[in-house]
Amino acid sequence: MTRDEIIAGLRAMETQLRARGIARMQMFGSRARGDERPDSDLDLLVDLDPLARFSLLDLSGIHLDLTERLGIEAYPTIARSIGERFRLEIAPDLVPVF
């Protein structure tokens, strides 16, 4: 699955994902850079709606839904939970989804 196909698949789920509390989504890692292998996972950085009630169970459910829908392991990471060092490391790879 190409980066553009992944983005299209995620955008098709945008309404559902926003309803579940995701305000913004970006890709990073090998699939964002275009140097993935067939077994590469999908790394996603998500910002949450500050008014949404959101738990780790919600994050786990979104992981499962994305993985099932896209057919590749998709790992959403909450942006506010990462450190500055990691944020700087992934910054060059970030590709906006919505």
Helix (H, G, I), strand (E, B) or coil at 26: strand
pTM summary value: 0.94
Question: Three-state SS for 15?
Answer: helix
Domain that holds residue 36: 3-96
Domain of 17, CATH number, reads 3.30.460.10
Number of structural domains found in the chain: 1
For residue 62, what are the contacts with CB-CB under 8 A and spacing of at least 6? 17, 20, 22, 76
pLDDT at residue 29 in the model: 98
Q: In the structure encoding, which two tokens stand for residue 76, read together? A: 């959403």
Q: pLDDT per position in the chain (98 positions), as tens?
A: 999 999 999 999 999 999 999 999 999 999 999 999 999 999 999 999 999 999 989 999 999 999 999 999 999 999 999 999 999 999 999 999 99
How far is 37 from 71, CA to CA, in rounded Å? 14
